[in-house]
Structure 1
Amino acid sequence: MPLNDERPTSTSSGEDQGSDVESSSERCDSMTSTSDLDCSRESFTSDTSSKHCTPSSSPPKTLTLDEVMESARDLSNLSLAREIIVNRNFHVETDSLPQDSLWKAVRDNLHKAFWDILESELNDDPPEYGQAIRLLEEIREILLSFLNPGANRMRTQIMEVLDMDLIRQQADNDAVDIQGLASYIITTMGKMCAPIRDEEIKKLRESSDNIVTLFREIFRVLDLMKADVVNLTINIMRPVLQRQGVEYERATFQSILDKTPNALKHTTSWIKSALEELLAITPKDGLEKGERLVPGPFQVLNTAFLRILTWEYDKSPLPETWMTDETRLREIQWQLQRCQAVNEVLLIIYSTIGGPIQGLSSLSDRLKRMISVLLDGMHGRDFNLEEALEGVSAQICCELNKSLTERNYPSLSPALQATLRGQICSITQEDNPIRTLVEDRVHQYFMALICDPKPQAKLEQVPAGLNAIKPELALLGAKFVSLVNYNKAVYGPFYADIIKKLIFSNISPPPPAANPPQDTAQDSAASN
């Protein structure tokens, strides 16, 4: 539309597609003693570029507004590149503002005011062409922006027909052929547009509306054409970004780090907490005095990656190296939480009821679908899990009684229904044994995928007790491992430098040798 600062807004449709980057994860390192540190240092630092540094080694720096804005633009470009790479359905649309939003109301009012002024000026006697000339000038710039660098002939023609100086002279003499200029603009748009817009161009040519309405429609189609150009550019860029995405994202993040030395603060804290977790569970038996076991660098990193799967977003921000994937990570986490809850409820049902419902795959599928639907949206702030589980319990009892009756089994007794309801509702407690069991085995499953260099072969190998959600786990596992491997490929050098500093800063130096006893005066005299 006529506002110069308006831009098409980006949207992403369809499911996010996993990155095509091949799995490059390493097997979890075993715990190594301090005597192994030289070997660990050599193998780990071989992939670390000297230009990457952690913020702790950088002196404080005062940032200018320009540097802050430049870093923000770099981060925006980084997020956009990641979205284009991982989401094959990513595209831009011309208008995605909510119908009742304040921004849409303001924009619509400004546009209406513009068109009302234009209509008022053209209806004057003699007509005023101030708004019309500004409109034609903007249309000319849009048309020129569609041209390829070598389209000199069409560029010259547009500049000649939409010669603003000539049009202003014609306006002074009331000799502007607005209708003729509109016809030329529509013809030129027809030569430039994608085939999908041919019908829109045809409608413009056949339009019998007044000149103001016609120009309004011209701008609407120009907006569609602008989105088409952007989407074409995205499609052209995607293969290039997929081939060079790792290098591009790493270089872009390095430029952010150069301008903002503290840009890895949360990443350092995230890795440090993983290291501290491993150190806390390190066995100390059998070690000589002054010797200390430290985890291998890949073990630290894989433990940190697993923490991302259960990140508490309300308590702390994501590490900076994961910010571009926050939406995808949240979606994986929400789906995984619901899958775990479904599995927990099913385990309770089958352990409580037992034989009469064993081996009935159709009943299991019905229960699974029903529980999943009733727990949909459980990650929402307004979702009451206890109330939802009460509803789940009631529906389950009805479904079980129906199934039992159909197969000539007695219905569930009131006492058994109360027991079942109580056990299902108790999974809201963090120390619930069924909940703890399911969560531990889900973590084992994802850790095995993260540590394996070929995780695709293990997607279907779910731990015992998780078979009910095996398809969902395999899908979520593939998505998460794809994100992890791509993240590792991009930010590996940064992680390497952070872990190296953290590991060696946690190694206490050996205690100093005991000082030899001082000779006494008597010993000295005796020796003399």
Structure 2
Amino acid sequence: MSSDDKKLGASDPKDTGTGPRIRTQSECSVTSDDGAQSSSGKRQRTTSAQFMVSSGLTSASPPKFVSLEEIMQAANGMRDMALVHQIVVDDDFKLQKVEPEPNTLHKMVNDTMRKAFWDLLRNELAEDPPNYTQALVLLEDIKKGLFAVLLPQHTKIKQQISEILDSELIKQQAENGALDFGHYAHYVISVMAKLCAPVRDEKIKELTQTTDVIDTFKGILETLDLMKLDMANFTLQMVRPDIIAHSVELERKKFADFLAVQSDGLERTKKWLLKHVDTSEVPPANSASYDSFVKTAVKKASWDAFIDLMDWDENEPYPETFLIDEARLRDLQVKTNRLTAIGTILLVTLSHAGPDLQSIAEFKASLKDHISILLQSIQNDKDLKQVLPNVAEQVICDVKEAQKKYNFSGMNDVSETVLRQQIEQISNEEHKIRSLVRQRIKEFFMDIIESSTAAPQKVPTGLSSLQRELAAIAGQFLRIVSHNNTVFCIYYYDIVAAALPKPA
């Protein structure tokens, strides 16, 4: 395992909310709701009206009316929050060029408009004398594009571009029939070659070898778009530490703005969280002990609720506090179910293959790879059921080849039939070995999010061959729930505390 995988629950004293640590209630609410720290360092239970109203924990407030402008501002705030959240939880996050979906009206209109522009430019340049109306517009757009990829220190280059791509000068050349359109194309390409990232060098080389002037300028615009994207991602990478440092504060504020215009904005969150709250335990009478009792209950309910997200019904909407992570959680759930199936097939196969093959690491690795390839596209149990007959055939073939390779006794027809049936029955959700594997994986995830030390976590028994895949999923899941708990722990605390029995 990598250093990150070895300790997926490591914490840092300077944690800003992006690390993999699950924050306890005492950590996330050491100050009172108005920002003033209590003298004891504990959370003051004088919860502000803002949080009580926004979380729906009081029904005594009068009805509140909001304007369309407030609703739109809240919606925009949630989009800002989504972008910040994406940057925090995804180390590989990059801005991508947005293209219309294939075979859509948007795509057709977009392609038609582009073709019309370039056809018009080609026709104007072919006139005698050439018509430079569209060409002048194009050069002005290119100049703006070059400015967009310049850094503040590129003052001399900016001045040179302004002088050479001077709109008035180019216009005078066009009017006098002295405009050399190709000359400006070569100049622009030379500037782009100095400014572009190394990944665009091949594209620049292609442009220098293009002879058709229209194709050249078309390539220039496409490459400038890519360079602007490169510059945006470079800037994003530079400011990422600052974004991460302030992400918790920003996400809390944006979500509070959302709740201000959405009175039932925590309805699903409360339903999800309260399923895991034990209200039968008798609370202690002592106030200090009761405070500890509440914190323990919040911690346990939160952990159980987080694990519950990995078995989420695909027809049920996620809690409001996890809406931004919905796609990520769905993806992790699919990956976990796929890994559960792979682990189950491996255990079933090895139990039938005999102790001799069980001890050969090369065979187990090859078997796992073949099973993984066959299951890589499954999304649900229906897909799994359809592909399992092929998996069974592949597994039996692998076992026979390995037995022959290592001079072990082969399976008889009865054993082969039993193994095939066992594998095909794995699509059943109640399959005993599959249920056992799923439970072990969930316990592994729980151990990770509960851990507050740097000790490595033990891989579930029988699943050591899936160590790398399990660590990858656990790491992504931990990052999501850790950041989520840091941002929303105030709401979780209030929801759970309100449901617990009060001391006599």
Bucket of the pairwise TM-score, normalised by the shorter protein: 0.7 to 0.9
TM-align CA RMSD = 4.0
User: What is the CA–CA distance in structure 2 between the aligned matches of 1:172 and 1:260, rounded to whole Å?
Assistant: 61
Which residue is equivalent to 2:493?
Answer: 496
State the shift of 1:111 in Å.
0.8
The alignment status of 1:306 with 2:304, answered yes or no, reads no
User: What is the CA–CA distance in structure 1 between the aligned matches of 2:440 and 2:119, rounded to whole Å?
Assistant: 66
1:53-72 equivalences under 5 Å are 53=52, 54-56=54-56, 57=58, 64-72=67-75
User: What is the CA–CA distance in structure 1 between the aligned matches of 2:449 and 2:440, rounded to whole Å?
Assistant: 14
Which residue is equivalent to 2:423?
Answer: 424
Which residue is equivalent to 1:359?
Answer: 359
User: What is the CA–CA distance in structure 2 between the aligned matches of 1:206 and 1:359, rounded to whole Å?
Assistant: 59
Which amino acid is the alignment partner of residue 124 of structure 2? E
Is the deviation greater in 128-137 or in 109-118?
128-137
Q: What is the SS of the residue equivalent to 2:94? A: strand
User: What is the CA–CA distance in structure 1 between the aligned matches of 2:429 and 2:269, rounded to whole Å?
Assistant: 27
Q: 1:167 to 1:66 in 2, by over 3 A?
A: farther
Identity %: 33
Q: 1:48 to 1:25 in 2, by over 3 A?
A: farther
User: What is the CA–CA distance in structure 1 between the aligned matches of 2:413 and 2:25, rounded to whole Å?
Assistant: 52
User: What is the CA–CA distance in structure 2 between the aligned matches of 1:299 and 1:361, rounded to whole Å?
Assistant: 39
Q: What is the SS of the residue equivalent to 2:359? A: coil
Which residue is equivalent to 1:341?
Answer: 341
Which residue is equivalent to 1:478?
Answer: 475
Q: What is the SS of the residue equivalent to 1:457? A: coil
State the shift of 1:297 in Å.
1.1
Post-superposition Cα deviations, 1:260-314, rounded to whole Å, max 9, x if no partner, equal 4443333222212333xx45xx579xxxxxxxx98711111111111112222x2
Is the deviation greater in 482-491 or in 171-180?
171-180
Contact 2:251 2:487 in 1 (8 A): yes
Q: What is the SS of the residue equivalent to 1:91? A: coil
Contact 1:48 1:496 in 2 (8 A): no
User: What is the CA–CA distance in structure 1 between the aligned matches of 2:481 and 2:136, rounded to whole Å?
Assistant: 54
Post-superposition Cα deviations, 1:50-70, rounded to whole Å, max 9, x if no partner, equal 643444247665555544443
Which residue is equivalent to 2:79?
Answer: 76
Which residue is equivalent to 1:134?
Answer: 137
Which amino acid is the alignment partner of residue 116 of structure 1? D
The alignment status of 1:273 with 2:275, answered yes or no, reads yes
User: What is the CA–CA distance in structure 1 between the aligned matches of 2:205 and 2:425, rounded to whole Å?
Assistant: 64
Which residue is equivalent to 2:455?
Answer: 457
1:114-263 equivalences under 5 Å are 114-147=117-150, 178=181, 182=185, 185-186=188-189, 189=192, 192-194=195-197, 197=200, 208-210=211-213, 212-263=214-265
Q: 1:221 to 1:440 in 2, by over 3 A?
A: closer
Which residue is equivalent to 1:374?
Answer: 374
User: What is the CA–CA distance in structure 1 between the aligned matches of 2:463 and 2:380, rounded to whole Å?
Assistant: 25
Q: 1:356 to 1:257 in 2, by over 3 A?
A: same
Which amino acid is the alignment partner of residue 440 of structure 2? R
Which amino acid is the alignment partner of residue 235 of structure 1? Q
Contact 2:207 2:220 in 1 (8 A): yes
Q: Name which of 112, 116, 136 aligns with 1:113.
A: 116
Question: Unmatched 5+ residue regions in structure 1?
Answer: 1-17, 29-41, 285-292, 511-528
Which amino acid is the alignment partner of residue 227 of structure 2? M
Contact 2:352 2:419 in 1 (8 A): yes
Post-superposition Cα deviations, 1:89-126, rounded to whole Å, max 9, x if no partner, equal 33335466666665444322211101111222333345
User: What is the CA–CA distance in structure 2 between the aligned matches of 1:443 and 1:401, rounded to whole Å?
Assistant: 33
Which amino acid is the alignment partner of residue 301 of structure 1? S
User: What is the CA–CA distance in structure 1 between the aligned matches of 2:255 and 2:169, rounded to whole Å?
Assistant: 49
Is the deviation greater in 325-334 or in 295-304?
325-334
Which residue is equivalent to 1:318?
Answer: 318
User: What is the CA–CA distance in structure 1 between the aligned matches of 2:471 and 2:494, rounded to whole Å?
Assistant: 33
Q: 1:468 to 1:158 in 2, by over 3 A?
A: closer
User: What is the CA–CA distance in structure 1 between the aligned matches of 2:407 and 2:205, rounded to whole Å?
Assistant: 69
Which residue is equivalent to 1:328?
Answer: 328
The alignment status of 1:297 with 2:294, answered yes or no, reads no
Contact 2:101 2:107 in 1 (8 A): yes
Post-superposition Cα deviations, 1:328-380, rounded to whole Å, max 9, x if no partner, equal 32332222212212222233334456555453434333333333332222215
Post-superposition Cα deviations, 1:473-519, rounded to whole Å, max 9, x if no partner, equal 33322332222212211222232233333x24xx3898xxxxxxxxx
TM-score (norm 1): 0.73
State the shift of 1:411 in Å.
3.5
| Aligned residue pair count | 462
Q: 1:92 to 1:430 in 2, by over 3 A?
A: closer
Which residue is equivalent to 1:23?
Answer: 21
Which residue is equivalent to 1:413?
Answer: 412
User: What is the CA–CA distance in structure 2 between the aligned matches of 1:370 and 1:180, rounded to whole Å?
Assistant: 57
Contact 1:25 1:452 in 2 (8 A): no
Q: What is the SS of the residue equivalent to 2:328? A: helix
State the shift of 1:23 in Å.
1.4
Which amino acid is the alignment partner of residue 483 of structure 1? I
More relative contact order in 1 or in 2 (CA 8 Å, sep 6+)? 2
The alignment status of 1:91 with 2:114, answered yes or no, reads no
Contact 2:25 2:489 in 1 (8 A): no
Contact 2:303 2:450 in 1 (8 A): yes
Q: What is the SS of the residue equivalent to 1:462? A: coil
Contact 1:26 1:452 in 2 (8 A): no
Contact 1:49 1:493 in 2 (8 A): no
Is the deviation greater in 346-355 or in 244-253?
346-355
Contact 1:25 1:453 in 2 (8 A): no
User: What is the CA–CA distance in structure 1 between the aligned matches of 2:437 and 2:419, rounded to whole Å?
Assistant: 18
State the shift of 1:20 in Å.
5.2
Q: 1:174 to 1:499 in 2, by over 3 A?
A: farther
Greater CA radius of gyration, 1 or 2?
1
